[in-house]
Structure 1
Amino acid sequence: MVKMAQQQMTRSNKNIFFRLMFSAVCVLLFNQLSYAQETNNSKKFSPPLDLTKVKKLIDSRCVICHGCYDAPCQLKLTSYQGLIRGGNKNPVYNPSRLNDEQPTRLFIDAHSTEKWHQLNFHSVITSKNRVQEHSASTAGIKTTQNNSVLKLLLDQKKAFPQNQSKRLPKEFPLDVTRDLSCPSANSIVNYLDDNNQSGMPYGMSAIPDNEQQLLDKWIAAGYPDFDKPLKITASLKIKILAWEKFFNTKSAENKLVSRYLYEHLFLGHLLISDNNKNYFFRLVRSTTNSGKVLFEIATAHPNGDPQLEKFFYRLRPITSTLVDKTHFIYDLNANKMDRWKKLFFATDWKVTHFPLYTDQYTSNPFLTYQDIPAAARYKFLLDDAFFFINNFIKGPVCRGQVALNVINDYFYVNFLDPNYDLSVIDDSYLKKGLKYLTLSKNKSSISTFSISWFKRLTEHQKYLEYRDRAYASHPVTKDGFPLQAIWQDHRANNDMLTVFRHFDSGSVIKGFVGNKPATAWVVDFPIFERIFYDLVVNYNVYGSVSHQVLTRLYMDYLRMESESLLLAFLPKNSRDEQLKQWYVGSIAQTKIFFLHSKLMFENKTKVNFKSIDYFKELIEKIRYRAGFNEPTYQNSLVGNETKTSKPENYFHLLNNKQTVSSPWVGMMPEVVYLMVHSKNGDVQKVVSLLRNKAHTNVSFIFGEDLRRLPKKDTSIIIDGTVGSYPNLIFYLSEDEVTEFVIKLKKLQSETELHELVSRFGVRRTDPKIWQVLDDLQEYRSSKLNLKGILDMSRYRNL
């Protein structure tokens, strides 16, 4: 019995044990299921990655320095394709290269990561396979598969932020021409060990924490594509096809006109509006016709040989972020097409010989397009003169001090009326002058530099002689130019332009701004076309040093030619003296009066003058003929309109015209923005304060500092934002403006300038710089209708 009882107890204990074990397993399973469910719910309700916000963040924080040819390490972040292409240590702008280099234009010269790597690009979003310690002690950063060059540079800024709102050390490298390291995944760790202040954004305040978290989330997700594909609506497609049909009409005349149009529009952002929305395109040459996948033909120049007997002009959508530096808008609409048909096809003309893509033709557009009536070509340029002048003042050619010192800091541009231009009204003029109008070949070398330069100089001298004889003998011009020989545009205010040079960049404004330009131009058709081909069509940003210098030297001739045409409207006996005021110094004057002895027209003038300051009076006559009031910053940006909505006159204590010879003028950078905001932070007004540097002359490539006249520098205040590269921003409340202006005008020393910036300015290291830039861009977009992003790479350390 006892034994039986023991057996029953043993069975009972086993049952209890199994029950307990079963219960424990159930509890564990329940807990696991609950945890899994909780995890799934967490994932389910975790906010998804908003790629639209990622794109906006990269535009506003990265593209501001990585948007153009001069983006550091060629890391162009205006599109996802630019991100995955990566970086390249070779700079695009290289004034010392002896030979032309392979172009590396995004979307054009390669179409896969493998191809870009063959062109020496390296990834910034992948890293080494092995884990590697980062010895920057306190940072504690490691490189793994998730730690790319981009991520490490962003993390470095968090670990080593710049001193908030303080000036960076003087030795901190900020110059756009500085040597760049451009580390790859193999070298990034050592680079950051040696350069702990090189985090991104470089030389700027760290971005806000919430923005950093968004980027971290995007990086952790594997850098998903943030670009949205462009949706082409049915109505937009009809417009695109209509334009492509126009460009690809098969007649010889249409083909020649399309070639001409392409060479002049290739740099533009062609605007097509559809259903109240704007779309931008590039005109390209493609191996495929309309309706098929577009394959752009890559040539260094738009007049380069496509190497195909048959190709097609296509409109390629621009999906990249728009940046101000490259956003040249050209409107394609029904009126434009009608205008082109009237210009180019209303008169009867035939193609006698279709030009080849050889040096003979690419170096002389007057030979290439001699069959197209000159009147059509010149009026085509005049119709959108602002666009075409912008192409070379803001285009790839105009970057850097040497490239820009071919022009003065501040001058006016006018155009010769077609009815007084012998190249338009006399068919024999261009035919006889063709041999003098050749530009340098698209390719040049050190060995042929001297020959090319001397040939261009000789041809220019002969052309001036030929031009002078022709204008002195033609019935329309032999008695001189009347005021009406300066062209008036009654449609789009293209006839009066103001050009500013901002040391190593430039900008163009419609209308005459201010009242004391350094010089002024009158541009005729031969000048206009040669400037455009010299600085835009035939210019190669990847070209050799000899190509760069020949381009600069030839533009020197064209600038003088433009100035001499304006001087032809002054009394004959005053022209030499006026020219000497523009070219001060014995060497410059020897160059002008000896090498270009026929620069001046021999004709008298038909313009009547009342004063002895003939140049000033001529400018006033042109201005008042167009309906200008006395120029002030209120009306300086509105072209020929004389009435505007009067802005708050915040800066009335600054001279509304131009300030001359004040100490504070010499302390200002070239481009300063004054932003006025209300008490709640809303931007009320933005104006530009520009410094125009004076020179004895702009006749030589080098030695600019030796030709400076700092005591004659001027400052001008203009409504809105001028320039693509702001150097400094003052952020002022409405009740601070008077105090700011008083302190500004009292500046006497660099120390006082730094104090002024500390009080009113926005430094690179100021945490509020990001919100200020956001507000500035919003103001430009909503109030000024300017959509391109400004570039902060030239923002000063003050």
Structure 2
Amino acid sequence: MKPLLYALTILLLMLAGCAPKPFPPVAVAVSERAIDYTKEVRPILDRRCVVCHSCYNAPCQLKLSAYEGLERGASKTAVYDSERLTAVHPTRLFVDADSAEQWHEDYGFFSVTASSASGRFNDSTLISLLEAKRRLPHMAGEYRPENDELTCPKDHDELEEYLDEYPDRGMPYGFPPLTTAEYTTLSQWIQQGARGPGSEEQAATERPVRPDTALLEAWERFLNLPDAKHALTARYLYEHLYLAHIRFGTPEGTFYELVRSKTAAPAPVEIIPTLRSYDDPGKAPFYYRFRRITSTLVHKTHMVFTLDEHQLTKVIRSFIDTPWLETPHVMGYGAKASANPFVTYAQIPASVRYGFLLDNSEYIVRTFIRGPVCKGQVALNVINDHFWVMFLDPKYDLSLQYPNLLRFNEKELSVPDERGSDFPAYRFFSDRYIERAVDYYKARADFYSLIYTDGLGYDAIWKGTEADDAPLLTVYRHFDSASVHKGVLGDLPKTLWVIDYPLFERIYYALVAGFDVFGNVGHQTNVRRYMDRLRVEGESNYIDFMPVDVRGKLFDAWNKNLNILVEEKLFYRPARMPSAIVYQTDDPKREFIEHLVDHELPATTGIGFDALNYFRAGEAHPGLPEHYRTREDYIQAFRAVEKPGTAFIRTVNGQQSNLAYVRVRMPEGEEDIVFSVIINRWHDNVAFLFDEQSQLDPSKDQANFIFDFVGSYPNMLLELDVDEAPAFFDMLQHYEDTPEYRRRFFHFGITRDNPRFWEAYDWFQKRFEAMHPIDAGLFDLNRYYYLSLPHGAAAAGE
């Protein structure tokens, strides 16, 4: 028997060796004409691929928002790595390398379009993954939003191994496959060599458009004037605008970025690739230039800033025409000094700097919220899910009235970023900068108590003057992303902030100008922990307006369940100065903000309470309307179902679905209604780096409904016909976590694997662009968690 078994074994091995590979090269239909990248390929990539493959969080660093990103290819190195012990070299597209060859040779990127097959066959990574999705369009396993190294095969051998283990992970990952026409276009283009735009076509896309050129040139002249006053002004503007998508007030929808270049106009831009905006550009002369943005716009990074004639006039009047505190002189680029704006820009009056931040408060705060630091749950659990921000009026900001307050506290106002991107291991959890911030907080409190012996009143809050001023802002956290909006959206939040100049500037330099996504875990941990201290300072500034006897109680209510160690780091001491406000109610937190919004803000700002979500004291939630014919009917319905702690809110929150977009299809001839549903989770505190779950209180979770698009990362899309509105809102109001209610809910939802997903997504995207033609960009689908019926629904017969 042994010889027979041996022979059978050999035969089986031989048959296995001759068996075809599970994922052979893909056969591609021959095209008799050249496929055009710009007209045919790029629109497909934009609609179906860029929605996940853009920015730093693109899986495998594969950025498909520009041909240069596709040509660069993929990498096994993740940008966001919470365990990285040593900083890595940055890999910023258009900045850190000049060609695909350099990306491949110096940075380890590899092609996703190259094929080792020949003839009509192709085994490139891109086409193989697209074909795998067509073979198996539905995911058999659980959708995982965080991709690991297995999703980055560098060649066909690794790809075969990957798809053998995960055959349902073709692209688009977790979504329906491309249509036959889309797939054919891409596969034929790849087979033809994946050629991009021609040199003339590319040059045309990089040139400024004619309506912009006059203002662009005027700004470049201003920014490059050689005298010390203009040079330091330009440096300040650059450090605050380097993330901006700049427009010059023309309606063409063309945007630019402000860069430092080795070349002056009219020569092509040669960018100086410093890691941070305040890093030394080198000894050679450099020039501030505007480089046209050619990548597809994605909303999460599309932060618009307008440089029109009005802005230029304001900058000249405030920075240039205002006398400075010292004879203007050029500042060097020492590492620590450059990271501290209170040192670098001490000669520019703080009132000028703060005025610039206030004039552009919405943009500046947006860089905190949508900049590269704000990705991931650990980075964002330093803030509450919903809070309002206001600003101290310059006339009452003592750092402006007494410049020595900043000079004497330069060290205490330093931020962790001054140590660079590589914190040594023994300082991963250093308290140095937290202790400095606490020392400044004490000094500030003592000084304010000394000067404002009668306390601060409503006059001390900046109220804005122009229509585009944003004296009040709403911040929403959407679990692992966030958004900022002008005005006071939602119901009265748990916490409110008041930001003064020193706090405004420190948050910017800690979270934006100085933060390095490529830095090590020590750098990122210290910035995260330092932000805890700055958050407390902003909240404390608001509490200082409250009656003396409620200040400590309010802080404790906002920061429950702290241990002694954390309490020490979050140090709070009620201000010794009294309140200048005589409160009429026993709810001063509410009374203050209601009086401010109702009676103090100028009408020009257009800010008022949210009629849909804000409830005055004692105001009850209404019942559902009898019919759904008008906008007011829907407002009543929303107000009926947003009561905190309902089962629907708890259930959706548990699925990490904090943000949904809803479309109500109206009768023909009427415009469909669209709104966002934002779930705000209640945190007893946000002071701990880990174990956020233990700080949640689902009974206080709340929903907000906004007749607009909120955020950049929808977790869920829902659709209903207008005649289904009664059933929809009845389901929300009476929701229970049962199979029947889950079935009713999923009737309206568009899951990731729904064949209609792309049709639904395209509608929401198109509507967003119509509503916000300047600020819109592609939504990101990396956080679209809504896959299938939960809790064993299939087994329950749903």
| Matches for 1:403-418 after TM superposition, within 5 Å | 403-418=379-394
Task: Give the TM-score taking structure 1 as reference length.
Answer: 0.87
Identity of matched residues, %: 35
- What do the CA deviations read for 1:755-783 (whole angstroms, capped 9, x no partner)? 13431111111111111111111111112
For residue 611 of structure 2, the aligned residue among 627, 632, 639 is: 632
Deviates more, 1:300-309 or 1:251-260: 300-309
- AA aligned opposite 2:579: T
Contact preservation (8 Å) 2:532, 2:570: no
Match of 1:580 in 2: 556
Distance in 1, matches of 2:732 and 2:641, equals 17
Amino acid at match of 2:636: H
Given that residues 487 and 608 in structure 2 are in contact (C-alpha distance below 8 angstroms), is that contact kept between their aligned partners in structure 1?
no
Amino acid at match of 1:79: A
Letter in 1 for 2:97: A
Quote the Cα distance in structure 2 between the aligned partners of 1:404 and 1:247.
Answer: 35
1:333 counterpart residue number = 308
Q: Which residue of 1 aligns with 2:660?
A: 672
| 1:456 aligns to 2:426 (yes or no) | no
Cα gap change, 1:681/1:742 in structure 2, threshold over 3 Å: closer, same or farther?
farther
For residues 670 and 133 of structure 2, the distance between their equivalents in structure 1, rounded to whole angstroms, comes to 30
Structure 1 residues 576 and 99: CA distance shift in structure 2, 3 A: same
Measured after TM superposition, the shift of residue 353 of structure 1 is 4.9
Q: Which residue of 1 aligns with 2:743?
A: 755
How far off its partner does 1:180 sit?
Answer: 4.0
1 CA distance for matches of 2:699 and 2:362? 32
1:127-276 residue pairs with structure 2 within 5 A?
127-129=115-117, 144=121, 146-162=122-138, 168=139, 171-176=141-146, 178-186=148-156, 187-225=158-196, 229-230=204-205, 231-274=207-250, 276=251
Classify the secondary structure of the residue corresponding to 1:433: coil
Cα distance in 1 between the residues matched to 2:698 and 2:211: 56
8 Å CA contact 2:489, 2:609 repeated in 1: no
- For 2:185, give the aligned amino acid: L
Paired residue for 1:139? none
Residues 62 and 351 of structure 1, relative CA distance in 2, 3 Å threshold: farther
Aligned to 1:532: 508
**Alignment-derived partner of residue 792 in structure 2:** none
How far did residue 656 of structure 1 move? Answer: 6.5
Query: What does residue 93 of structure 2 align with?
Result: 106
Alignment of 1:60-71 (within 5 A): 60-71=47-58
Distance 1:77 1:502 in 2: 25
Change (3 A) 1:654 1:239: closer
Measured after TM superposition, the shift of residue 514 of structure 1 is 1.7
* Contact 2:381-2:689 within 8 A present in 1 as well: yes
Paired letter, 1:443:
G
1:317 aligns with 2:292: yes
CA distance in 1 between partners of 2:349 and 2:675 (Å) = 43
Larger Rg: 1
Aligned residue number for residue 56 of structure 1: 43
The verdict on how the C-alpha distance between 1:569 and 1:449 changes in structure 2, with shifts beyond 3 A counting, is: farther
Q: Distance in 1 between matches of 2:209 and 2:614?
A: 40
The amino acid of 1:572's aligned partner reads V
1:583·1:697 contact (CA, 8 Å) conserved in 2?
yes
Assess, with a 3 A threshold, how the Cα gap between structure 1 residues 302 and 753 changes in structure 2: closer, same or farther: farther
Contact preservation (8 Å) 2:390, 2:461:
yes
Cα root mean square deviation, aligned: 2.4
Decide which moves more: 671-680 or 481-490.
671-680
Corresponding position of 1:355: 331
Deviation string 1:510-568 (CA, Å, 9 cap, x unpaired) is: 10012220200000000000000000000000000000011011111110001111011
1:470 aligned to 2:447? yes
SS at match of 1:498: strand
CA contact (8 A) 1:82 1:106 kept: yes
Cα deviation, 1:219-260, whole Å, max 9, x if unaligned, reads 343323258532534443332221111110100111111111
Which residue matches 1:122?
A: 110
Shift of the alpha carbon at 1:670? 0.3
Say whether residues 1:367 and 2:343 are aligned partners: yes
**Partner residue of 2:277?**
302
Query: Contact 1:64–1:791 (CA<8 Å) still a contact in 2?
Result: yes
CA distance in 1, matches of 2:739, 2:688: 34
Name the TM-score, length of structure 2 as normaliser: 0.87
Aligned-pair CA distance for 1:708? 1.2
Distance in 2 separating the partners of 1:96 and 1:597: 29
Q: Where does the alignment leave 5 or more consecutive residues of structure 1 unmatched?
A: 1-41, 132-142, 163-167, 637-645
Alignment of 1:769-784 (within 5 A): 769-784=757-772
Following superposition, the deviation at residue 49 of structure 1 comes to: 4.7
CA distance, structure 1, for counterparts of residue 672 and residue 740 of structure 2 = 27
CA distance in 2, matches of 1:585, 1:463: 26
Indicate how the Cα distance of structure 1 residues 84 and 128 shifts in structure 2: closer, same or farther if over 3 A, else same: same
**Which residue among 705, 708, 722 is the counterpart of 1:720?**
708
Q: What letter matches 1:580 in structure 2?
A: D
Instruction: Check 1:776–1:53 CA distance in 2 against 1; reply closer, same or farther (3 A cut).
Output: farther
How many angstroms apart in 2 are the aligned matches of 1:679 and 1:216? 40
Instruction: Name the SS of the counterpart of 2:496 in structure 1.
Output: strand
Q: Report the CA distance between 1:345 and its aligned residue.
A: 1.2
5+ residue gaps, structure 2: 1-29, 616-629, 789-798
Q: 423-432 or 715-724: which moved more?
A: 423-432
Matches within 5 A, 1:378-777: 378-440=354-416, 441-443=418-420, 445-447=422-424, 449-450=426-427, 453-474=430-451, 477-491=452-466, 492-587=468-563, 591-592=566-567, 594-595=568-569, 597=571, 599-625=573-599, 626=601, 630-633=609-612, 647=631, 649-650=633-634, 652-655=636-639, 658-668=642-652, 669-678=657-666, 684-749=672-737, 751-752=739-740, 754-777=742-765
**1:661 shift after superposition:** 1.4
Tell me which amino acid in the other structure corresponds to 1:202.
Y
Q: Find the aligned partners of 1:178 and 1:623 in 2 and give their Cα distance.
A: 47
**d(CA) in 2 for partners of 1:357, 1:750:** 62
Aligned AA for 2:280? D
The answer to whether 1:74 aligns with 2:44 is no
> Aligned partners of 2:591 and 2:31: how far apart in 1?
75
SS of the aligned residue for 2:638 comes to coil
The answer to whether the 8 Å contact 2:59/2:147 transfers is no
* SS of structure 2 residue aligned to 1:277: coil
* Pairwise CA distance, 1:752: 4.4
Distance 1:451 1:103 in 2: 21
Deviation of the 1:632 alpha carbon: 2.5
Shift of 1:665: 0.6
Alpha-carbon distance, 1:158 to partner: 1.2
Quote the offset at 1:599 in angstroms.
4.0
Query: Structure 2: how far apart are the matches of 1:754 and 1:81?
Result: 45
TM-aligned CA distance change 1:395 to 1:245, over 3 Å: same
